[in-house]
């Protein structure tokens, strides 16, 4: 098969491209390069620069490369920005997906994998979040991901398209320094940035009903996430007409304080964190049940938190050599 990977020059996308090509699948990348980096792509992987809102460009790409499956990662993904610019997020994430699905069905593409998010759950009050946990997103970003799932599933029912919606939990790590996340929007790079500046990491809320009072999250290594995409692609190929909705996580909770301790141990920077008031909308605990993904895909995460942090740190040092501890 030939897989079109939208957003394939991004942090997660480049890892998916790498995993797919290493598994023997042919990949074509479609990316507007607004945040993607072309140099992340393996040699020989075609790159088409374009927006998912451009129906004509999509149609020519699907036909010109003989695309038989799509992995759709291209999206705007910053929760705070989505609150400030909801119309922009709905246009890019929902309308962009609608246009893409329209062209996919016209082209007779057989399989479609959608990059969703744990943000669809909002603030679940459960120890483990299953795929049946009610979805109550609390940000426009989360809303667009849930609306995206509705679009994908409705298209599958109407056309027989094989589909999977993968709900990512907190992604970290890198397969190689050159593929590391260059954004500073998640806890690992945010702590790296503070330590590089000689400033203490910040903890927002230390009075949650958790063992150490800080928020607990499920972290997944980006390499494991990419491998899950390969397993999903193979599952859809093997069972035409299949529809899946799966959590992609480790099923293990790690608190903010524990993450900072791990980061200190890996980096050698040991500034104690400073405590700040809770941020609005932060649930105390969001940890995945990943049992369905294991059952449906014969997949399970292999890397632990230390693997994520150490690989991310190597990527950070590549761009910020001054951060090395003495």
9 belongs to a structural domain = yes
309 belongs to a structural domain = yes
* 108: pLDDT strictly greater than 90: yes
CATH number at residue 100: 3.40.50.720
- pLDDT for 164: 98
Q: What total of structural domains would you count in the chain?
A: 2
* 60: pLDDT strictly greater than 70: yes
Tokens coding 40? 């992340």
Q: For residues 24 and 155, state if they share a domain.
A: yes
Query: What is the per-residue pLDDT across 292-309, written as a single tens digit (0 to 9) for each?
Result: 999 999 999 999 999 999
Tell me how many degrees the CA angle 228-233-237 measures, rounded to the nearest 5.
145
- pLDDT for 282: 87
For helices 256-267 and 187-196, what crossing angle results, to 10°? 50
Q: For residues 194 and 162, state if they share a domain.
A: no
Q: For residues 59 and 187, state if they share a domain.
A: no
Q: For residues 244 and 278, state if they share a domain.
A: no
- pLDDT for 181: 95
The residue-averaged pLDDT of 60-73 equals 98
The residue-averaged pLDDT of 120-142 equals 96
Give the DSSP letter of residue 8. Answer: T
97 belongs to a structural domain = yes
Cβ neighbours of residue 17 under 8 Å, at least 6 residues apart? 5, 8, 27, 29, 40, 41, 42, 45
Give 250-303 as a DSSP string. Answer: -S-EEEHHHHHHHHHHHH---PPPEEEPPPTT--SEE-B--HHHHHHHS-----
User: 188 with 254: CB under 8 angstroms?
Assistant: no
39 belongs to a structural domain = yes
Q: For residues 163 and 74, state if they share a domain.
A: yes
297 belongs to a structural domain = no
Query: What is the per-residue pLDDT across 162-180, written as a single tens digit (0 to 9) for each?
Result: 999 999 999 999 999 999 9
283 belongs to a structural domain = yes
Active site residue 168: no
296 belongs to a structural domain = no
- pLDDT for 326: 57
Q: For residues 306 and 276, state if they share a domain.
A: yes
The structure's pTM equals: 0.96
Q: Are strands 216-221 and 253-255 parallel, antiparallel or unpaired?
A: antiparallel
Q: Say what percent of the chain tops pLDDT 70.
A: 99
Query: What is the per-residue pLDDT across 219-259, written as a single tens digit (0 to 9) for each?
Result: 999 999 999 999 999 999 999 999 999 999 999 999 999 99
Query: What is the per-residue pLDDT across 20-44, written as a single tens digit (0 to 9) for each?
Result: 999 999 999 999 999 999 999 999 9
Q: What is the domain extent for residue 196?
A: 172-218+251-287+302-323
CATH number at residue 182: 3.90.25.10
Q: For residues 67 and 101, state if they share a domain.
A: yes
The residue-averaged pLDDT of 41-67 equals 98
* 201: pLDDT strictly greater than 80: yes
Q: For residues 27 and 154, state if they share a domain.
A: yes
Q: For residues 116 and 259, state if they share a domain.
A: no
pLDDT averaged over every residue in the chain = 96
Give the span between the Cα atoms of 37 and 213, in whole angstroms.
38
Q: For residues 46 and 191, state if they share a domain.
A: no
Cβ neighbours of residue 134 under 8 Å, at least 6 residues apart? 121, 124
> Which has more pLDDT, 57 or 280?
57
228 belongs to a structural domain = yes
Q: For residues 177 and 280, state if they share a domain.
A: yes
Q: Note the Cα 76 to chain centre separation in Å.
A: 11
Task: Please choose, from the candidates 34, 33, 37, 28, the residue with its C-alpha nearest in 3D space to the C-alpha of residue 58.
Answer: 28
Tokens coding 13? 């996308």
- pLDDT for 297: 97
Give 223-248 as a DSSP string. Answer: HHHHHHHHHHHHHHHHSTT-EEEEEE
Give the span between the Cα atoms of 31 and 48, in whole angstroms.
6
Q: For residues 156 and 278, state if they share a domain.
A: no
Give 10-75 as a DSSP string. Answer: SHHHHHHHHHHHHTT-EEEEEE--SS--GGGSPTT--EEE--TT-HHHHHHHHHHTT--EEEE---
User: 151 with 98: CB under 8 angstroms?
Assistant: yes
Give the DSSP letter of residue 129. Answer: B
User: Which residue out of 141, 168, 208, 219 is catalytically annotated?
Assistant: 141
């Amino acid at each position: 098969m030939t897989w079109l990977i939208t957003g394939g020059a991004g942090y997660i996308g480049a890892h998916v491209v790498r995993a797919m090509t290493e598994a023997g699948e042919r990949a074509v990348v479609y990316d507007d390069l607004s945040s993607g980096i072309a140099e992340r792509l393996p040699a020989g992987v075609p790159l088409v620069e374009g927006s998912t809102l451009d129906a004509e460009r999509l149609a020519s790409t699907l036909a010109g490369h003989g695309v038989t499956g799509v992995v759709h990662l291209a999206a705007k993904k910053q929760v705070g920005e989505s609150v400030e610019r909801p119309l922009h997020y709905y246009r890019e994430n929902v309308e962009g997906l609608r246009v893409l699905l329209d062209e996919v069905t016209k082209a007779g593409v057989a399989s479609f994998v959608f990059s969703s998010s744990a943000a669809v759950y909002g603030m679940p009050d459960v120890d483990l979040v299953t795929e049946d946990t009610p979805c109550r997103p609390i940000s426009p970003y989360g809303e667009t991901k849930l609306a995206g799932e509705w679009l994908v599933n409705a298209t599958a029912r109407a056309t027989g398209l094989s589909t999977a919606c993968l709900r990512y939990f907190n992604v970290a790590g890198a397969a190689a320094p050159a593929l590391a996340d260059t954004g500073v929007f998640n806890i690992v790079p945010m702590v790296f940035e503070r330590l590089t500046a000689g400033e203490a990491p910040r903890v927002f809320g230390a009075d949650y009903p958790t063992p150490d009072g800080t928020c607990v999250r499920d972290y997944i290594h980006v390499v494991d996430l990419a491998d899950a995409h390969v397993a999903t692609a193979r599952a859809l190929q093997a069972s035409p007409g299949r529809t899946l909705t799966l959590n992609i996580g480790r099923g293990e909770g790690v608190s903010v304080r524990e993450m900072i301790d791990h980061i200190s141990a890996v980096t050698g920077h040991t500034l104690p964190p400073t405590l700040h008031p809770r941020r609005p909308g932060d649930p105390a605990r969001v940890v995945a049940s990943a049992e369905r993904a294991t059952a449906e895909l014969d997949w399970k995460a292999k890397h632990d938190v230390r693997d994520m942090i150490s690989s991310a740190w190597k990527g950070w040092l590549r761009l910020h050599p001054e951060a090395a501890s003495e």
